Amino acid sequence: MENHDVISVLNDLIETSKDGEEGFRTCAEDVKRPELKSLFINRAQECASAAHELQQLVRSLGGDPETSSSVAGALHRRWVDLKSLVTGKDEEAILNECERGEDVALKAYRDAISKDLPPSVRVVVEKQLQGVQRNHDQVKALRNTARAAS
């Protein structure tokens, strides 16, 4: 894989991580339970750290790292905000949207890992994929709990 292709893959993942950071922050603002707020804030910080790590990797490859989230991520956050207003910030609805965002992140990371990445890049992407999977599974479990309680 050529260097500029690797940088492009990494920049896509930076956008995905920035989307996750903003998405988790939005969810933290919308939920009422303090333990969920705390969880979402922690996840947002982890996404920010992942983006920073990827940005450093892009720089080390001689590229210019992405610095913002994607248009699709911004639209998704607006959808979460709108849905929160309509549902009265219903916890299950917020968790549904959060899980949907994590589905998108999982797909992005799985797509990236399917490419012929240099070993030093692959290690970072695989490690971050594990974190995305953990986030997804945790949000899904919380959503299932909220669904069972309603």
Q: What is the CATH number of the domain that holds 120?
A: 1.20.1260.10
Domain that holds residue 132: 3-149
Structural domain tally of the chain? Answer: 1
The DSSP call for residue 150 is -
Write the CB contacts of 89 (distance below 8 Å, at least 6 apart in sequence). 30, 31, 32
For the chain, first and last CA: distance in Å?
49
| Helix %, strand %, coil % of the chain (to 5) | 85, 0, 15
Give per-residue pLDDT as tens, 120-141: 999 999 999 999 999 999 999 9
Give per-residue pLDDT as tens, 45-91: 999 999 999 999 999 999 999 886 555 555 555 555 555 555 566 78
